[in-house]
Amino acid sequence: MKTHLDDPKTEERSTRRSGGKPTHSGLSLWLDQLRCKMTVRSWHRKTKKARRRHSLSRALNRIPHAHMIGDSLYMIGFWVEYVLVCFGRGVSKVCGAIARNVAALLLAIVRPFALGIITLCEDISEPFLVVAGGLRHIRDLSEQLADESAHQVRKEKVRYFVRGTRRYFPLVLNALSYVLPVAAAVVFVYVVQSGLNQTFVLNVQANGESVGNVANEQVFESARADVQSRITNAENVMISTGAAVSDQSWEITPTYTLEAGSNTMTEGEVADAILRTSSNEITEATAVYVDGGLRFVTTEGDHLRTYLESVKAPYVDALDSSKRVSFVHDIQLVDGVYLLSSVVDYDNVIGSLNEGADIGHYVAAEGDTVQTVLDTVGVSWDSLAALNPQLTSPDQELEEGADLITSVSSPEMLKVKEVVRSTYTAEIPYDTQTSESDQYDFGKIVTVQEGVNGTEEITQDITYIDGVEYGREVVGYRVVEEPVTQITVKGTKLKSGMVASIGSGNFMWPVPEYKYVSRWMSSYHTGADICAPYGTPIYASDSGEVVTAGSHWSYGNYVVINHGNGYKTLYAHMSKIAVSAGQGVERGQVIGYVGSTGQSTGNHCHFEMYGPNGLFSAQTLFPNMKTWGS
């Protein structure tokens, strides 16, 4: 298409109008061409749209009743739009009404509170505003009465202050009616908080004197029980030592009152203080408790501690942290205040603790060695060497008449217990995981993963009493290396192409409807004869493969099942066989029927069982079956 820009005549006329020179520059000419192209493209687009509309219109006109369909669609659209618009307007009106009512309700509820708060603020603030205004007016009086004398100015200020006080005093009272209750509430909260934060204790009194404070009633009751226990134990100690006990009794009844405080005493401290206050027949001493029971009271507590430590000293090794040394009996020394009448002489305490001590001896004969002593007495070399430091080795020869200590039996109360903690390594047996697969021949066992034993550290406490081992107790395990499970697969594929299940090892009685067992396996008979009526079903005792199903001169019709786990079973004298060789059978499946074929004198099933070690009697698995004559 050629435009006016491409017309030579138009260009010539333009040239003539411009006095013989072209009027268009290169840029303006390019812009005119661009506009022309855009106009042409727009015209093409409109033409294409018009053609598409025309084509669509013709296509619609070809549709039967097109105008009726169009009118129907228009009406449907119109009414749907109208209904939606009406619904929207209705919802808008309802929501607006609800909002207006809710707003009115909230306003009715909130307005009194708001007015009340505003009134409260005005009542409280008005006196202060009036006072502030009055103070400003009093300050301004000096300027307003500049011509008056200072006395006159002061007089006017006082007069103004008095008038203001009389006039606005009710406002002050009104404000105080609000302020005073709030101030009272603040003071109340402060007082309550201060009281709650204060610590209260029980002040204990005995014989009218205060002996100290305790934290609560439980400590007080425990201390009172301790005091009574000491008095009772004192009498028992005196009786056990043979001392005379008078009829005099100590009645100590401590009390307490509640008071504020912070420093408190423990149960034992309070018990000591009560005894000091209540009696002049007490002293500082040490009580000896054996297995929780009070046995002695002595004033030589430090000496007794030294003696007990010397008894344990031979067994103590300060460099061996794995050894714990103590007495077999729980001996505790408790310092405190005790009744003088319960104190026992120190020598008597030592004598009582050492009752029952015994020392074993061996007098060497001519030709004796240390080894002969060990063999004769039955003690270990370590124990004998510990008791006799002069010995050097088991081969050492002994002089005739040499006296060796072979054992030391401590007194019952002073038996020494050594607990030695040791650790050793042990194996953890691996588990075996077995599965079945039809990728391997029936009964074949393939190891997929070899099992490996793990290792663990076992910690144990070895207890020795007077040097002799008394017992061992395992106190902990720690796995060093986890065991590796052995994974094996048992084949289930038969030569016939079938798949059989490996036997579970849980056998069932092959003839549940039997009458009795006429005889079991013996030296002259290889199986169990299970008597039953002719044609009674015989079941597979366990799953497996039928390896034999045929006739035999002695067994008659018989079946042999290989269970794939090292066991086989045989069923003989059948009247009819229900399976074939190479077939897989499940536990409880019918394999034949009772008969009397072969070397048989009556209807029965001859049942044989074979295990990894050969033929064995079925009676070992079925001991309670009914036998002939029972």
CA distance 340 to 349: 16
Distance of CA 45 to the CA centre of its chain: 77
Position 237 confidence tier, pLDDT thresholds 50, 70, 90: low
pLDDT at 604 > cutoff 90: yes
586 and 530 belong to one structural domain: yes
Instruction: Verify that 431 and 383 share a domain, yes or no.
Output: no
Same-domain status, 592 and 557: yes
Q: Give the 3-state secondary structure of residue 551.
A: strand
Q: Does a structural domain hold residue 172?
A: yes
Q: 403 or 231: which carries more pLDDT confidence?
A: 403
Return all residues near 253 (Cβ < 8 A) that are at least 6 apart: 206
**pLDDT on residue 213:** 86
- Whether 215 is in a domain gets the answer no
Cα–Cα dist 10/408, whole Å: 145
Q: Half-sphere exposure (CA, 13 Å, Cβ side) for 331?
A: 25
Residue 408 confidence class, pLDDT cut points 50, 70, 90: low
Average pLDDT, the chain: 82
Residues 445 and 557 reside in one and the same domain: no
Q: Do residues 321 and 419 lie in contact, with contact meaning Cβ atoms separated by under 8 Å? A: no
Cα separation, 383 vs 389, whole angstroms:
10
Dihedral sign, CA of 272, 275, 280, 286?
A: negative
Domain boundary among 409, 428, 447: 409
Statement to judge: residues 577 and 471 lie in one domain:
no
The confidence score (pLDDT) of residue 298 equals 87
Q: Assign 3-class secondary structure to 405-418.
A: EEEEECCHHHCEEE
The mean pLDDT value for 550-569 works out to 95
pLDDT at 202: 83
Rg of the chain (C-alpha set): 59
In tens, the pLDDT along 343-355 reads 888 888 888 887 8
The CA distance from 253 to 211, in Å, is 13
- The boundaries of the domain holding residue 405 are 358-409
pLDDT exceeds cutoff 60 at 36: yes
Helices 217-240, 267-278: crossing angle, 10 deg rounding: 60
Work out the average pLDDT over 242-267. Answer: 72
384 and 435 part of one domain: no
Residues 109 and 187 in one domain: yes
Query: What is the Cα–Cα distance from 533 to 625, expressed in whole angstroms?
Result: 17
The per-residue pLDDT for 547 is: 93
| Number of neighbours of residue 542 by Cβ within 10 angstroms | 25
For 281-299, the pLDDT digits (tens) are 777 788 888 888 778 888 8
Q: Are residues 89 and 124 in the same domain?
A: yes
What pLDDT was estimated at residue 248? 54
User: Does any domain span residue 439?
Assistant: yes
pLDDT for the residue numbered 4: 43
Say yes or no to pLDDT of 19 above 60.
no
**Whether 550 and 428 share a structural domain:** no
Residue identified by tokens 């500082």 is 284
Decide if 330 is inside a domain: no
Q: What is the pLDDT of residues 483-525, one digit of tens each?
A: 999 999 988 888 877 888 899 999 999 999 999 999 999 999 9
pLDDT, position 214: 84
Best CA proximity match to 174, nearest among 121, 112, 111? 121
Q: How far apart are CA 567 and CA 95, in angstroms?
A: 87
Residue 20, φ and ψ in degrees, nearest 5: 90, 0
**Band of the pLDDT at 9, cuts 50, 70, 90?**
very low
DSSP code for 505:
S
500-539 as b/e: b if 16+ CB within 10 A: bbbbeeebebbbeebeebeebbeeeebbbbbbbeeebbbb
CATH number, domain with residue 533: 2.70.70.10
> What token pair was written down for 395?
């081969």
Confidence band (pLDDT; 50, 70, 90) for 436?
confident
Other C-beta atoms closer than 10 Å to the C-beta of 113 total 9
Q: For residues 29 and 111, what is the distance between their CA atoms, to the nearest angstrom?
A: 78
Report how far apart the first and last C-alpha atoms of the chain are (Å, whole number): 126
**What does 217-270 look like in DSSP terms, one character per residue?**
HHHHHHHHHHHHHHHHHHHHHHHHTT----S-------EEEEEE------HHHH
Distances (CA, A) of 203 to 108, 229, 278: 61, 22, 16
Does 279 fall in a domain?
Answer: no
Residue 175, pLDDT > 80, answer no
Tokens describing residue 484: 């590796």
Helix (H, G, I), strand (E, B) or coil at 103: helix
**Tell me: the pLDDT tens digits for 81-137?**
888 888 888 888 889 889 888 888 888 888 887 777 777 677 667 777 777 777 777
Q: What is the mean pLDDT of residues 455-462?
A: 94
Question: At a CB cut-off of 8 Å and minimum separation 6, what does 450 contact?
Answer: 484, 486
Cα separation, 267 vs 220, in Å, equals 7
432 and 401 fall within a common domain: no
Q: Would residue 234 count as lying in a domain? A: no
Q: What distance in Å separates the CA atoms of residue 608 and residue 529, rounded to the nearest whole number?
A: 9
- CA distance linking residue 2 with residue 10, whole number of Å: 12
> Kind of pairing, strands 282-290 and 293-298?
antiparallel
The domain boundary residue, chosen from 436, 464, 488:
488
- 159 domain residue, yes or no: yes
Question: Does 587 share its domain with 464?
Answer: no
Q: Record the pTM.
A: 0.42
Q: Rounded to an integer, what distance in angstroms lies between the CA atom of residue 619 and that of residue 517?
A: 10
Would residue 211 count as lying in a domain? no
Q: What is the number of domains present in the chain? A: 4
- Predicted confidence at residue 598, as pLDDT, reads 95
Do 425 and 523 fall into the same domain?
A: no
Residue 528 identity: A
User: Could you give the CA distance from residue 505 to residue 434 in angstroms, rounded to a whole number?
Assistant: 14
- Beta pairing class for 432-441 and 331-339: unpaired
Q: What are φ and ψ of residue 406, in 5° steps?
A: -100, -25
Which one-letter amino acid corresponds to residue 67? Answer: H
- Local structure of residue 315 (DSSP, 8 states): G
Q: What DSSP string runs through 334-364?
A: EEEEEEGGG---HHHHHHHHTTT-EEEEEE-
Neighbouring C-beta atoms of residue 57, cutoff 10 Å: 11
Q: Could you tell me the CATH number of the domain that includes residue 466?
A: 2.20.230.10
